[in-house]
Structure 1
Amino acid sequence: MKVSDLSPRALWQNFARLNAVPRASKKEKQVIDFMWSFGEGLGLETFQDAAGNVVIKKPATAGMENRQTVVLQSHLDMVHQKNGDTDFDFETQGIDMYVDGDWVKARGTTLGADNGIGVATIMALLEATDIEHPALEALFTIDEETGMTGAKQLDPVHITGKILLNLDTEEDDELTIGCAGGIDTNTSYKYNEVALTGAHVAFEVKLKGLTGGHSGMDIHKGRGNANKLMNRLLYAARKSVDIKINRVDGGSLRNAIPRESTAVVVVPEEQKLLFQAFFGIYTTVLKEENQTVEPGLQFLLSECPLPETVMEDADFVKIVNAIYAMPNGVYRMSPDIEGLVEASSNLARVIIKDGHFVSQSLQRSSVESTKEDVAQAVGAGFENIGCEVALSGDYPGWKPNPDSAILRLMAALYTDRFGKAPKVEACHAGLECGILGGHLPGMDMISFGPTIRGAHSPDERVQVSSVEKFWSYLLEVLKAIPEKQ
């Protein structure tokens, strides 16, 4: 079965159309033009602000004119990530999707269900002629995944509604009323390179097969971080052999738990067998340690051409020690909301090459003071070795409002329809609601969506039956929107 043949058909057809358009964060011109043309083609009022956000307005259906206007919001960009052995050009190719039982997946890349399913849902509503709904204002933001630029720079002039439905969460039995804020910590350091003297042999070390995932929603699951594991291997190797680093390239995107890392290392020729023996023993320890959570973890070792230079030993010690000491994963659990991660850090990117070391990490917290604390903890360790540390992409969290009118309405509808109460949650991911609320004072906001697994990784998948459940529930919500006050 093709994805476009799934039910609800209008939603899946729009998802297929959307996924044919390259839409990486900060490279969204094609998808902005696509969405503009979509709104214009339906004869609906369509606007674009200076940031690139698109707003499409649709009047209420007959008999619903006195209901409150609803803002439907999703982001146009998606995380572009692929497996190392996947040949795919995100800038020219559409996502290669397929149906696997009750799931839609992509071959070797991210699927874009985050947040493409939300976008496709809104598109289906905008083009529908047989669905009851109040006046709709569809807000499609850009660059959510790499800084929430669209939300930050939103021109609110075309938004009049006071109820906002954000279609960007990933459990179909949850209603989200709060989220974490985030900040990026970026470091850089110029290290000394030295020429090799004497007989040496070079090896390429590859770490692959980790699960990866969303650095907010999945950070508490104990998944391996490729950058931390590779660094641990290098740190331990130095205690056994006279190892030197030529280069390291680990991770991919700032908001994804890194799945792969590659290093080129050099050892004296007389220590070749000793290093190979160490590698076999130590990587076995790491695989056994992570077997339950990371059964696919692989370490590969192969000889490669000898480089001309390596990192000076003193810088090797500084950098590897700093990475080892860096906080990663859950930093603090919330004392107020059971089971909620309050603060975390994810070492997303490590590059050592040609005399330059850079790292990128993302800190998240639902409390501004602990967001600052974890970012400072990360930065301080790197500052101690002389790194330049720059903070960027700061965005606020979204404070929960348990007395929200739209929450009461949607919780009651969910209970009536599905026979049990929904989970009302705050999440550790970054949602745009906190920023949008600053531009749109008085907005009553809630976030919900279908079940998505493995977001921000090539294992991303969306559950077909859950999308159908989400769609039918959303239609009930739109029919029940109260009258204007």
Structure 2
Amino acid sequence: MSSEIRTLEPKVLWNKFADLNAVPRPSKKEERVIKFIKDFGENLGLETLEDEVGNVIIRKPATKGMEDRQAIVMQSHLDMVHQKNNDTVFDFDTQGIDMYVDGDWVKAKGTTLGADNGLGVATIMAILESDAIAHPDLEALFTIDEETGMTGAMGLKGGVLKGSILLNLDTEEDDEIGVGCAGGIDITARGSYNEEPVAKDSNKAYRLEVKGLQGGHSGMQIHEGLGNANKIMNRLLYAVIEDIKIAAIDGGSLRNAIPRESIATVVFRADKEELLMSVLNSLSDTIKKEFKTMEPDLQMVFTATDFPESVMPYEAQEQLLKALYAAHNGVYRMSADITDLVETSNNIAKVVVKEGNIHVGCLTRSSVESSKMDLANALKATFELAGCEVEFSGSYPGWAPNMDSAILKVMVPVYERLNNGEKPHVAACHAGLECGILGQNYPEMDMISFGPNIKGAHSPDERAQISSAQKYWEFVLEILKHIPKA
């Protein structure tokens, strides 16, 4: 890890981020980072506890003169999305993130950076450690597994937290104050087929690759027109559906990441090679033209490969490709009430076909529960028509905006004063924040979300802006000074 990260301003923030990023912390495997945070709190002599699902809570009394203010909860999640480039050798289970400075940005070498939500965690750590930062009674809430199910927030019981205001530090635009977010639901389609042997004589096997896509956050960036590797691969396969037999497909990874890569193995008659390559290359050129602005590095590569032992029967192949073509991906509906807000969307995140089994994973998001289930049911019907069994899981609620929020009325003028009268963007977002879930057990808690500029979250292009972190840090300190009286 580059030592230059520790010289950035504010040093207290970047040093804590560097400490945190030395600890492996992929979702579902947070044991080491939970211990790291607990040790941190206990070494400071602060009340530190771990609840039954693994969330860590650290309490710090108010600084002198702030005892009469409302108690606050500062909240961030410990886990990070683990994504890397195919040519990057990296083990998220054992290695810390390798960071470097590129101009005004902190980046990672070939992997996600973990600024989402590591900069929020680092912020809270810096405040807990400091003897010079003014704040009211403070509870630091470090949740687990935000990125792959929000099970930490779901498992936090009512009555544990004592604060009346919650500051969620998981927004990724420094001019935005978040007052609402989308809910979500995981949709998984599973199917099976009887594998068929295929003769090597007179046939050829090819590996089709879609790669070079940017990927990104499947909520915050779903409206940007980024390429989805699974949809592009399906388009290629569908174009030659009658002349190929599919042996395997492996596309995408995590549900909350727009898929960047997909690989398929197909078999076809050797005398069709020239024709099929002509069709695929022509379609590849067309798709590249369509995406030339948003995806300048998109590649579709077709190469001869080792011969597979078996393939899908044509009927199963046809049903799958038609279902994937019909399944909605991207923005489904824009909000009629909030300008430029995506209301409902879907990400076809993962497609795996191998050894007689089909697995398709989607994440549907919406700020309106009925619209979320409408799209979920449309996807369910699509895949059931293809003979798949469809499961709904991991459903979580959205966070309804409260424009009368007392902490919002504090933060807006503070922001304007710090930024020469510039007004913040008060908005709901299409990401899934934990506020909606926490609000189920703490319905009276006043909640807000904000953070520094982070681009490319959930992809190896993730980067955090240094100048924005400085702006954000000053904002945090001023908010803490102006928490309303109890």
- Shorter-normalised TM range: over 0.9
Aligned residues: 482
The ranges of structure 1 where at least 4 consecutive aligned residues each deviate by more than 3 angstroms after the TM superposition are none
On the 8 A contact 1:181/1:368 being kept in 2, the answer is yes
CA distance in 2, matches of 1:74, 1:120: 9
Q: Where do residues 247-286 of structure 1 align in structure 2 (5 Å cutoff)?
A: 247-286=248-287
Q: What residue is the counterpart of 1:456 in the other structure?
A: 458
Q: What residue is the counterpart of 1:356 in the other structure?
A: 357
Q: What residue is the counterpart of 2:112 in the other structure?
A: 110
Structure 1 residue 422: deviation in Å? 0.5
Q: What residue is the counterpart of 1:78 in the other structure?
A: 80
Alignment-mate amino acid for residue 307 of structure 2 = L
Q: What residue is the counterpart of 1:331 in the other structure?
A: 332
Cα-to-partner distance string for 1:135-181 (whole Å, 9 max, x where unaligned) = 11000000001110000000344311100000000000010000000
**TM-score with structure 1 setting the length:** 0.98
CA distance in 2, matches of 1:451, 1:378: 34
Cα-to-partner distance string for 1:432-467 (whole Å, 9 max, x where unaligned) = 000101111210000000000000000000100001
**TM-score with structure 2 setting the length:** 0.98
Q: Does 1:211 align with 2:219?
A: no
Q: Does 1:223 align with 2:218?
A: no
Alignment-mate amino acid for residue 318 of structure 1 = Q
Q: What residue is the counterpart of 2:67 in the other structure?
A: 65
Alignment-mate amino acid for residue 302 of structure 1 = T
CA RMSD of aligned residues (A): 0.9
Q: Where do residues 311-460 of structure 1 align in structure 2 (5 Å cutoff)?
A: 311-418=312-419, 419-460=421-462
Structure 1 residue 271: deviation in Å? 1.1
Q: Secondary structure at the match of 1:168?
A: coil
- Which of 45, 49, 52 is the aligned partner of 1:50? 52
Alignment-mate amino acid for residue 358 of structure 2 = F
Cα-to-partner distance string for 1:283-308 (whole Å, 9 max, x where unaligned) = 11111111111101001121111112
Q: Where do residues 19-34 of structure 1 align in structure 2 (5 Å cutoff)?
A: 19-34=21-36
CA distance in 1, matches of 2:4, 2:206: 44
CA distance in 2, matches of 1:20, 1:50: 25
Q: What residue is the counterpart of 1:35 in the other structure?
A: 37
Q: Unmatched 5+ residue regions in structure 1?
A: none
Q: What residue is the counterpart of 1:18 in the other structure?
A: 20
Q: What residue is the counterpart of 1:195 in the other structure?
A: 197
- Which of 238, 259, 268 is the aligned partner of 2:241? 238
Cα-to-partner distance string for 1:84-139 (whole Å, 9 max, x where unaligned) = 11110000001110000100001111000000000000000000111111111000
CA distance in 2, matches of 1:155, 1:130: 32
Q: What residue is the counterpart of 2:168 in the other structure?
A: 166
CA distance in 2, matches of 1:66, 1:390: 50
On the 8 A contact 1:55/1:158 being kept in 2, the answer is no
CA distance in 1, matches of 2:90, 2:304: 27
CA distance in 2, matches of 1:391, 1:401: 29
Q: Does 1:300 align with 2:294?
A: no
Structure 1 residue 279: deviation in Å? 2.1
Q: Unmatched 5+ residue regions in structure 2?
A: none
On the 8 A contact 1:216/1:430 being kept in 2, the answer is yes
